[in-house]
Structure formats: C-alpha cells, structure tokens
Amino acid sequence: MFEGLSGRLGDVFDKLTRRSSLSEGDVDAAMREVRLALLEADVALPVVKRFIADVKEKAIGQQVIRSVTPGQMVVKIVHDALVAMLAGPDGAAEPDPMALGLDIAQTPPVPILMVGLQGSGKTTTSAKIALRIKTRERKKVLLASLDVYRPAAQQQLAVLGEQTETDCLPIVPGQMPVEIAQRAMKEARAGGYDVVILDTAGRLHIDEALMAEVAAVREIVRPHETLLVTDAMTGQDAVTIASEFNEKVGITGIVLTRVDGDSRGGAALSMRAVTGVPVKLMGMGEKMDALDAFHPERVAGRILGMGDIVSLVEKAAQTIEVEDAERLAQRLAEGQWDMNDLLGQLRQIKRMGDVKGLLGMMPGINKMQRQLAEAQVDNKVIDHQEAIILSMTAKERRNPDLIKASRKKRIAAGSGTTVPEINRLLKQHEQMAMVMKRIKKMGGRKGLMNLLK
Ligand code: GDP
C-alpha cells in the first residue's frame, strides 16, 4: 500500500528540497502535484481539498527557520498535515508498537464487538486480536461467533481459536445471535475471562436486517469497542461502508485489512477525515501475528519517506527558541514591536508554562509588567491569539494599522475567532508598542532593566 503515492510525493519533494529558495509559485505548483497524487491514490476529494488548504495556511503562517531550506520546511508542513489528517484532533500516539491501543482496561469481562461485511477479514482479525491480547496483555480471552448464517462460519472461528490456543464459545445449534451473545457474556463471567470478542455475521452488502441485528447485539452486550473491519483494497467503498456502519450502529474504531496488498491507500487516508472514527488497526497478512496498530506518525513517515528531513526541521525549530529570545531582546531595545514580535512573545509565554505562578515568585517585578503578562496567561486565549496572527498576511503583521473592518472579518474567518477578539489583540499590541517606545526613550536595554527594578 502507498507505493504509488509515496513515489509521486517523493518526486515532488525531491525537486522542492534541492532548491535554495522558493517562490509562492513553486509552492503552488508543488501543491497541485500533491493534490493530484492524493486523488490518484483514491483519497476522497473533500479530504484532499481540506488537506491542501491546511498545508497552504500553515505554510503562510510558518516562522522562517534559517538553518533549513524552504523546501524542507514544506516537507515538514506536509508531514504534519498528513499526521493531523490521519490522527484527527485527539490522536495521541501509542508508544508501544505491539500494543493495540484498544479500550480494554475496564471491569471484566470486556466485550469487543466485531462488525463488517462478509469477506472483509472479520473472523481472521478477531482471532488475531485475541492472540495479541492474550500474549501481550496476558489476559484471558473468549472468542464467540455470532454468525449463524454462513455455513461453517462458527467452525472457522473454532479452528482459528485452536490455532491461537484461545478458548471459543461452544457451538449450540439453532441459537440466534442475541442468544449467543448473552451466553458468551454469561460464560465469560463464570469462567473469569477478561475480554470477550464477538464476531458478528457479515453480508455481501449492507442491509437493514444486518444493521438491526448488530444493533440488537450491541444493546445486549454494551461493548467498549465496536470495531468495523474493512478491506483496504476496496478503496472508496470502504469509506462509504464505514460511514454507514457508523451512522446505523456506531463504531469506535476501524480495522483495515489487506494493507499488505497493493491498494492505493485512499481508504486509509480518507477514513478518519470522512467518518470521524479513527483507524485503529491494520491487517498485514493472513498469518495470525500480522496485525499492527495504526500509528499516524509512522504511516505518514512511510508515505513521505522523508523522516530525516522531518527530524532535521524539528531540531532546527528547537534552536529557534534561543534565537527568538535574542531577537525579542534586540527589538525591545530598539523600541520596535510588530505582530511578529507579539507572536514570538506569545509562543515564549506558552513554552514557559504557568507564567502567573512564575511571576508571583519573581522578586522585584513591577506591577505593570505583571499585569501585562497576566492578561495573556490563559493558554486558550494564547492559542486564539496565535491563530489570529497566523491568519494575517506578512504585510499586516508588520503594519497592524492596515487591519480595518474587512481584513478583520477575513482574519476572524481564517483563524476561527471573532472580530472582538481581534480588536482585543490589536489593542494589546498597541499597548505593548507604547510600552516599547517608552522603554526606548528610557534608554533601550538599560531602560528595560530600570523598568524591571
Ligand atoms: P470474514 O468473512 O469477514 O470473517 O473474513 P475472513 O476472516 O474469513 O477473511 C477472508 C479472507 O481474507 C481469508 O482468506 C483471510 O485469510 C484473508 N485475510 C484476512 N485479513 C487479511 C489481511 O490482512 N491480509 C491478507 N492478505 N489477507 C487477509
């Protein structure tokens, strides 16, 4: 998976990173190629559009880091946007590569419900998950097949249970799925099982009867995880199926199977953005240990294949903190203060953590300084202010007087804030600029030291 996409993006960025300077046109041309590459990889169009807009916005707001080339910066921005697309807003990385990141730390027995269409790899994945939880988490797992329709489906799970040395709920002919689910939970409680994996029946297509049955089982067992198993090879269909399952029965995670095949990767890339449900696991083959947690960082790394550049830019961004501080001191001494300075200051305040506490402990800091800093210490406020400044053009940042009504509206829309918030920030900037001018009058750095006394 991802080979075609990876190759194409590689070509785009090879060209970009070799140049010492980039014009806006260069970046635009590169973004057009990225857009095409994503579409060819079968990524959903709205997802592609959002992705490109996100990258462009970040590129405009990006602080220039002198020690890396602009092309390298673009690679890093694309990488971060890719991770954001795959991880969603709260996608924390699981550091342990063998951990599956499933929600099973609950009062046992914890039910996991497996849903999906026939042939998607549900039964295989059920056994794979059982094996991993057993060996890695050292938990006692019970497997149960609720598929009473497909001939030999229950036997298939029993065979995989034997293969992975996992207990399987005995088959009682004639029982219906809801009854089997109830029996499985009862058996699990009696037998001291930690986790029960319920493999539901699939159909060839989504139909009402299937959804109703899955919903009924869900009501009975109230699973902590409802995992939809989808075949990565089916591309956009997999995304549609996921949306429908999520609407009708509600799912907590997606398992993509046949990631070892030569699918173009569109499903993996669109899933999260379209459905809002995270891809949690990837099936990497037919063997029982061929199951991986879905790590947005690692997947993005695999697609871009530019890990070196990404870490280079990350390191350079750390050293810029020192440069920032020096630059700020210099600007203070000169009595200069534009929006870029304010942005630098906001970022420093964020890095310093709880400034209120810090200021309280500092002897001799004067009242005005404290008030100024305390006005900004709410991190959420700082995030908003940062977003506002990032939505300004370079010209507006250097000369905030330009920002009148229509520009305010544009900036508010771009930063997801409101015009009053922008007014407050402009006011704050104005006050700071006045303080800076006074400092200059008092003799630059020496004046600043006097003010702090
Ligand atoms: P179910 O109908 O959803 O339960 O699907 P099965 O679990 O029976 O899987 C159908 C076929 O797909 C079997 O031959 C599996 O071995 C195969 N399969 C399942 N997952 C994967 C995977 O991640 N990679 C590959 N290559 N084959 C898989």
pLDDT digits 0-9 by tens, 68-123? 777 788 888 888 888 888 887 665 555 565 678 788 878 889 999 999 998 999 99
In whole angstroms, give the CA distance from residue 95 to residue 79: 19
Q: What pLDDT digit, counting tens, does each position of 228-246 carry?
A: 999 988 888 888 899 999 9
In ligand 1, the atom with minimum distance to the C-alpha of 282 is: 23
**Residue 17 assigned as binding residue:** no
Q: Residue 359 pLDDT more than 50? A: no
Pocket test for ligand 1, best of 115, 122, 123, 124 (most atoms within 8 A of CB): 124
- Which pLDDT value is given to residue 360? 41
- Which pLDDT value is given to residue 365? 45
400 lines ligand 1 (CB under 6 A): no
Q: Residue 258 pLDDT more than 90? A: yes
Q: Residue 320 pLDDT more than 60? A: no
> How many angstroms separate the Cα of 208 from the Cα of each of 20, 123, 203, 215?
59, 21, 11, 10
**Residue 123 assigned as binding residue:** yes
Write out the two tokens for 406: 């229509």
- Domains, the chain, in order of start with CATH, read 3-92+305-309 (1.20.120.140), 110-294 (3.40.50.300), 335-452 (1.10.260.30)
SS (H, E, C) the chain: CCHHHHHHHHHHHHHHHHCCCCCHHHHHHHHHHHHHHHHHCCCCHHHHHHHHHHHHHHHHHCCCCCCCCHHHHHHHHHHHHHHHHHHCCCCCCCCCCCCCCCCCCCCCCEEEEEEECCCCCHHHHHHHHHHHHHHHCCCCEEEEECCCCCCCHHHHHHHHHHHCCCEECCCCCCCCHHHHHHHHHHHHHHHCCCEEEEECCCCCCCCHHHHHHHHHHHHHHCCCEEEEEEEHHHCHHHHHHHHHHHHHCCCCEEEEECCCCCCCCHHHHHHHHHHCCCEEEEECCCCCCCEEECCHHHHHHHHHCCHHHHHHHHHHHHHHHHHHHHHHHHHHHHCCCCHHHHHHHHHHHHHHCCHHHHHHHCCCCCHHHHHHHHCCCCHHHHHHHHHHHHCCCHHHHHCHHHCCHHHHHHHHHHHCCCHHHHHHHHHHHHHHHHHHHHHHHCCHHHHHHHHHC
Q: What pLDDT digit, counting tens, does each position of 129-167 carry?
A: 999 999 988 899 999 999 998 878 899 999 999 999 999
**285 CA → ligand 1 middle, Å:** 8
- In 3D space, the residue among 93, 152, 157, 153 whose CA is nearest the CA of residue 130 turns out to be 157
Mean pLDDT of 379-391: 85
Q: Residue 267 pLDDT more than 80? A: yes
Q: How far is CA 291 from the centre of its chain?
A: 21
- Which pLDDT value is given to residue 168? 96
123 lines ligand 1 (CB under 6 A): yes
- Which pLDDT value is given to residue 362? 41
User: What mean pLDDT value characterizes the chain?
Assistant: 82
- Which pLDDT value is given to residue 88? 77
What share of the chain in percent tops pLDDT 70?
81
129 lines ligand 1 (CB under 6 A): no
Amino acid identity at 319: T
**Residue 335 assigned as binding residue:** no
In ligand 1, the atom with minimum distance to the C-alpha of 283 is: 23
pLDDT classification of 363: cutoffs 50, 70, 90:
very low
286 lines ligand 1 (CB under 6 A): yes
Pocket test for ligand 1, best of 205, 256, 286 (most atoms within 8 A of CB): 286
Global pTM value: 0.69
> How many angstroms separate the Cα of 354 from the Cα of each of 341, 357, 360, 380?
20, 6, 10, 12
In ligand 1, the atom with minimum distance to the C-alpha of 119 is: 2
Q: What pLDDT digit, counting tens, does each position of 178-225 carry?
A: 999 999 999 999 999 999 999 998 877 778 888 889 999 999 999 989
Lowest mean pLDDT among 4-8, 15-19, 284-288, 444-448: 444-448
Peptide bond into 109 cis (omega under 30): yes
**119 CA → ligand 1 middle, Å:** 6
In whole angstroms, give the CA distance from residue 270 to residue 171: 39
- In 3D space, the residue among 293, 229, 236, 230 whose CA is nearest the CA of residue 267 turns out to be 236
Report the range out of 14-18, 354-358, 421-425, 446-450 with the highest average pLDDT.
421-425
Mean pLDDT of 375-396: 81
122 lines ligand 1 (CB under 6 A): yes
In whole angstroms, give the CA distance from residue 445 to residue 440: 8
Write out the two tokens for 346: 């906001």
In whole angstroms, give the CA distance from residue 161 to residue 124: 10
Mean pLDDT of 266-281: 88
**15 CA → ligand 1 middle, Å:** 40
In whole angstroms, give the CA distance from residue 182 to residue 178: 6
Pocket test for ligand 1, best of 257, 263, 279, 294 (most atoms within 8 A of CB): 257
Mean pLDDT of 273-302: 89
**Residue 121 assigned as binding residue:** yes
**25: Cβ–Cβ under 8 A, 6 or more apart, which residues?**
none
Q: Bridge-partner residues for 142, per DSSP? A: 167, 196
